[in-house]
């Protein structure tokens, strides 16, 4: 049973294949009637209730799936496993957001120039299951992040482990 936005449909698969047999969305309100246009023995479906409502429900489901699918990316699309990084510095911000939590770390290079790095972590749910708490990292805490740099050479990294100021190492996935 599929229920999206008040639209309820059952997917019924045919027991055999052949002329006049197809898979479709069938509701408990639909009637089965002989279909003369499809040939002898064919069955058609006449729906009670607007086809506009069905179309809107199907498009809504399609759009929701597209939005959630485009919100996520693969590791290989954005990060380079051949570019490991080690980043040490104070945390300037922590975001517990989906689909990935993020920490922002100010990293000082050998010339004394500080650069802000955006470090992508796992989902908040995965982090909490791995031992993270919302207050595991606070603004000003010194951390060391081991991970991989972005392919586009921006100051973006995907973290594998984070060593907290108290010496505890936690996984970032």
Same domain, 138 and 161: yes
**146: CB partners within 8 A, 6+ apart:** 84, 85, 86, 159, 160, 161, 162, 163
Q: Average pLDDT of the chain? A: 75
Name which residue leads in pLDDT, 42 or 166: 166
Task: Report pLDDT digits (tens) over 83-107.
Answer: 999 999 999 999 998 889 999 999 9
Do 41 and 106 reside in the same domain of the chain? no
Tell me, yes or no, whether 58 and 140 share the same domain: no
Last residue of a domain, one of 50, 70, 90: 70
pLDDT for the residue 147 = 96
| Last residue in a domain, options 52, 70, 88 | 70
> What stretches of 76-131 adopt beta strand conformation (E)?
79-95, 102-108, 114-120
Helix (H) / strand (E) element for 11: namely strand 7-12
* Percentage of the chain modeled with pLDDT above 90: 40
Q: CATH number for the domain including 94? A: 2.40.50.140
pLDDT tens by residue, 155-173: 999 999 999 988 989 888 7
55 and 89 housed in the same domain: no
CA angle 92, 137, 124 (to 5 degrees): 105
pLDDT per position as a tens digit, 1-27: 444 455 454 444 444 445 544 445 555
**This prediction's pTM:** 0.57
Report pLDDT for 75. 75
Read off the tokens for 62.
């399609």
91 with 156, same domain: the answer is yes
**Structural domain range at position 105:** 76-171
Q: Does 107 lie in the same domain as 25?
A: no
Number of separate domains in the chain: 2
Residue owning tokens 């489901």: 61
Residues 59 and 97 in one domain: no
**85 and 142 both lie in a single domain:** yes
On whether both 109 and 94 belong to a single domain, the answer is yes
Q: Cβ–Cβ contacts within 10 Å for residue 122, how many? A: 20
Whether 100 and 57 share a structural domain: no
pLDDT digits (tens, 9 = 90+) for 108-139: 999 999 999 999 999 999 999 988 888 889 99
């Amino acid at each position: 049973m599929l229920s999206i936005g008040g639209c309820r449909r059952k997917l019924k698969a045919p027991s055999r294949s052949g002329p006049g047999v197809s898979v479709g969305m069938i509701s408990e309100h639909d009637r089965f009637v002989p279909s003369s246009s499809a040939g002898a023995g064919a069955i058609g479906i006449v729906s009670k209730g607007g086809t506009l409502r069905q179309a809107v429900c199907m498009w809504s489901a399609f759009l929701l799936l597209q939005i959630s699918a485009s919100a996520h990316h693969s590791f290989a699309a954005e990060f380079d496993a051949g570019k490991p990084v080690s980043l040490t510095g104070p945390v300037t911000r922590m975001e517990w957001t989906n689909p990935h939590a993020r920490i922002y770390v100010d990293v000082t290079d050998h010339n004394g120039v500080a650069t802000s790095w955006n470090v992508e972590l796992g989902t908040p749910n995965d982090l909490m299951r791995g031992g993270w708490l919302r207050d595991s990292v606070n603004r000003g805490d010194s951390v060391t992040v081991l991970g991989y740099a972005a392919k586009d050479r921006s100051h973006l990294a995907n973290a594998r482990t984070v060593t907290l100021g108290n010496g505890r190492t936690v996984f970032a996935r």
